[in-house]
Chains A and B, each alone.
Chain A
Amino acid sequence: MINANNIALIKKDRLRFTKNKLSSGLALLAIVFNALYFVDVYRSDVGSYFYNWTIGASVLYNLIFMLAAFLSSEGVKNYKLGYSYVLMALGLGEIVRVFYIPLQARNTTDPTITTDALTELVAKNETVPTVMGDFQFYFCAGCLVAAGALCIIAGVVALIKTTTLIKYQAELEKNSRGSKS
């Protein structure tokens, strides 16, 4: 039966028969946050402002991210080591994205405002409207950070579990070879 000494062993042994649902679930959740991010960007004027190759690249990256994250979620579920690295890379990519469209849009003055109106606002010391408002910026950045963090956590968890399993299986193999000889 279970005691303090063999709990660690049982946990390791369980990996042989259970899937890594935690990493898989986290990766799928990351996809959801990424989706929230791009839906919010594309539905707003931000999308219109970046209506050039940038938005094309963004759309393409979102598609690649979702496909890669989904495949990785299936991969890590079955303890494929390579996919944990892919997830971590995707996570870092998501965090880097905060500095691209959301931050750029937030630091860019709204192009629909005329020069006169802009001068007047500056003269009155009022806030100059930007392509992306504060609330939208925090929401978008939050989504990207959340997606990135979830991917990284999923990747790290998968890495730990997979290496543990690989080592444990090697140990079992060694023991069974030893008992045969």
Chain B
Amino acid sequence: MSDLKLQHLEKIYDNKVQAVFDFNLNVKNGELIVLVGPSGCGKSTTLRMVAGLEDISGGNLIIDGKDVTKMPPKDRDIAMVFQDYALYNHMTIYENMAFSLMLRKENKNEIHQKVLAAAEILGLTDQLNKKPDQLSGGQRQRVAMGRAIVRTPKVFLFDEPLSNLDAKLRGATRREILLLHKRLRATMLYVTHDQTEALTLADRIVCMSMGHVQQIGTPLELYDSPANLFVATFIGLPPMNLFDVTVQDGKLYCDSFSVDLSAEEKALLAKYDGKEIVLGIRPENIVQGGSITVSVFSNENLGQTTLVNGAVGKHKITCKFREWSNFKPGDSVNVSFTRKHFFDKETTEAISSN
């Protein structure tokens, strides 16, 4: 396994459309990095550039200290797992997993041992004589992973591997990937648009939008200290509630409510006094009881939690209460905020003490 460095990586297509702008990332040996972002943000393009499936328009790609920017894919020693598995349907699972090694003309006995070892890791030993169409989606994806594992590549690339699976299987396969990573301690780059996958799998997350890296950090950093409004609204489900507020005399004033600031928050927002900022409140940081009145639109009981959608003045708000509640449309509920996030209205960057 190896270190991976993406230095000022850029992708400009022939029609001059730029898909990736100045992408910088150092992936440490054995790290699992998740690239997350909405469709069209450039995450798959970045992955394909690393794989060698897309030309790199600018910047350098370094694997294990070696510049592989211009190197053809076959020489990069990278294995990629695709969303649609890309298995050979006429071959058995054993043959699918052994195929890349056979092409390399490796010793057949060694191939056999590698395939059996990978099958053992992935729980596919009993399926080796079957054809892909006899397996479930999750098993097929495991075969695709097995095909990558047998090659013992320097870097594993996953391009939305769970997108074709149903919700239950996705959760199970996600846990398998996590276990696999812990077992192999392999360097992995994983692309997804599903933030749950990103938060549960990643050592570090790269959040992207419109070809730009918005923030790189651990899942907790992205959730707890989003760098800007995009990250704040993209990470977290339901998304963060946003309010345009004015900072004045140690308070935040919205059109229909005001919030007192703590001494720490006052210091943080000192230079914004008299200005408008964006207040971000995660739904789970809203509790019942307080001075802010929410007019309820809908009440969704999810078992452990209840999602209450409503409005505070002209702002829509989603609250996530831990207790089971039965509000009806038109009811009012008083709430307060336990944690606040502040963003500069002009730059959309987070206002933090750092």
Chain A residues engaging chain B, CB cutoff 8 angstroms? 1-2, 7, 10-11, 13-14, 16-18
Q: A1 CA to B111 CA in the complex, in Å?
A: 11
Known: A14-B108, A17-B94, A18-B94. A1 touches B113 (CB 8 A): yes
Report yes or no: A7 in contact with B92, Cβ–Cβ below 8 A.
no
Question: Which 8 pairs, one residue from A and one from B, show the smallest C-beta to C-beta distance?
Answer: A17-B94, A10-B109, A14-B112, A2-B109, A17-B128, A10-B112, A2-B110, A7-B109
Partner of A17, one of B107, B109, B110, B112: B112
Cβ A17 vs Cβ B108 within 8 A: no
For residue A71, give the distance in angstroms from its CB to the closest CB of chain B.
20
**Measured between alpha carbons, how far is A114 from B9 in the docked complex, in Å?**
91
Question: Which residues of B are found within 8 Å of A2, using beta-carbon distances?
Answer: 107, 109-110, 113
Pull 11 A–B residue pairs with CB atoms less than 8 Å apart, ordered by A: A1-B110, A2-B109, A2-B110, A10-B109, A10-B112, A13-B112, A14-B108, A14-B109, A17-B94, A17-B112, A17-B115
The residue in chain B whose Cβ has the minimal distance to the Cβ of A17 is B94
Q: Across the two chains, which residue of chain B brings its CB closest to A10?
A: B109
Residues of chain A within 8 A of B112, CB atoms compared = 10, 13-14, 17
Pairwise interchain contact B113-A17, C-beta atoms closer than 8 A: no
Partner of A11, one of B109, B115, B116, B128: B109
Question: Which chain B residues in 262-313 approach chain A with CB under 8 Å?
Answer: none
**Does any Cβ of A come within 8 Å of B129's Cβ?**
yes
User: Cα distance A11–B108 when bound, in Å?
Assistant: 9
A18 CA to B116 CA, complexed, in Å: 13
The residues of B that contact A18 with a CB separation of less than 8 Å are: 94-95
| Complex alpha-carbon distance, A17 and B128, angstroms | 7
In chain B, positions 95-114 with a C-beta closer than 8 Å to chain A are: 95, 107-110, 112-113
In the bound complex, CA of A11 to CA of B107 (Å): 11
Closest chain-B Cβ to A15's Cβ sits at a distance in Å of 10
**Residues on A with beta carbons closer than 8 Å to the beta carbon of B128:** 16-17
The answer for the CA separation of A14 and B129 in the assembled complex, in Å, is: 11
Q: Which of A1, A7, A10, A16 has the most CB of B within 10 A?
A: A10
Contact partners of A11 in chain B: CB under 8 A: 109
Query: Which of A7, A10, A17 contacts B129 (CB under 8 A)?
Result: A17
CB of B87, distance to nearest CB on chain A (Å) = 16
- Give A17 to B92 CA distance when docked, in angstroms: 8
Give chain B nearest CB distance to A8 CB in angstroms.
10
Inside 8 A of A1's CB, which chain B residues have their CB? 110, 113
Q: Smallest Cβ distance from B336 to chain A, in angstroms?
A: 62
| A-chain residues with CB within 8 Å of residue B94 when the two chains form the complex | 17-18
Convert B111-132 into 0s and 1s, putting 1 for each residue whose CB lies closer than 8 angstroms to a CB of A.
Answer: 0110110000000000011000
CA distance A10 to B116 in the complex (A): 11
Residues of A within 8 A of B129 (CB): 16-17
A17 and B113 alpha carbons, distance in the complex (Å): 12
Bound together, the chains give a CA A68 to CA B109 distance in angstroms of: 33
Extra contacts, 14 of them, besides A2-B113, A17-B95 (Cβ < 8 A), are: A1-B113, A2-B107, A2-B109, A2-B110, A7-B109, A10-B112, A10-B113, A13-B112, A13-B116, A14-B109, A17-B92, A17-B94, A17-B112, A17-B128
> Residues of A contacting B115 with CB < 8 Å?
17
A10–B109 CA distance with the chains assembled, in angstroms: 6
CA distance in complex: A174, B115 (Å): 24
A10: chain B residues at CB < 8 Å are 109, 112-113
Contacts of B95 in A (CB 8 A): 17-18
Q: Closest residue of chain A to B119, judged by CB?
A: A17
B166 CB to closest chain A CB, in angstroms? 30
* Inter-chain contacts of B109 with A (CB < 8 A): 2, 7, 10-11, 14
Tell me, rounded to whole Å, the shortest Cβ–Cβ distance linking B127 to chain A. Answer: 11
- Tell me, in angstroms, the Cα distance from A18 to B95 when the chains sit together: 8
Cα separation A2 to B111 with both chains bound (whole Å) = 10
Q: What's the least CB distance linking A77 to chain B, in Å?
A: 12
CB proximity of A74 to chain B, nearest CB, Å: 14
Complex Cα spacing A18 to B93, Å: 11
Q: Which of A13, A16, A17 has the most CB of B within 10 A?
A: A17
C-alpha gap A13/B129 in the complex (Å): 13
Residue of A with least CB distance to B93: A17
| Residues in chain A near residue B92, CB distance under 8 A | 17
How close is A133's CB to chain B, nearest CB, in angstroms?
Answer: 46
B348: min CB distance to chain A, Å: 56
Give every chain A residue within 8 A of B110 (Cβ-Cβ). Answer: 1-2
A5 to chain B, nearest CB (A): 12
Given the complex, which residues of B lie within 8 Å of A16, measured CB to CB? Answer: 128-129
CB distance from B61 to the nearest CB of A (A): 32
A16 to B127, CA, bound (A): 12
Separation in Å of the B7 CB from the closest CB of chain A? 37
Given the complex of chains A and B, what is the CA–CA distance between A3 and B92 in angstroms?
27
Min C-beta distance of A113 to chain B, whole Å: 57
Complexed CA–CA distance, A17 and B112 (Å): 9
Q: How far is the CB of B94 from chain A (nearest CB, A)?
A: 4
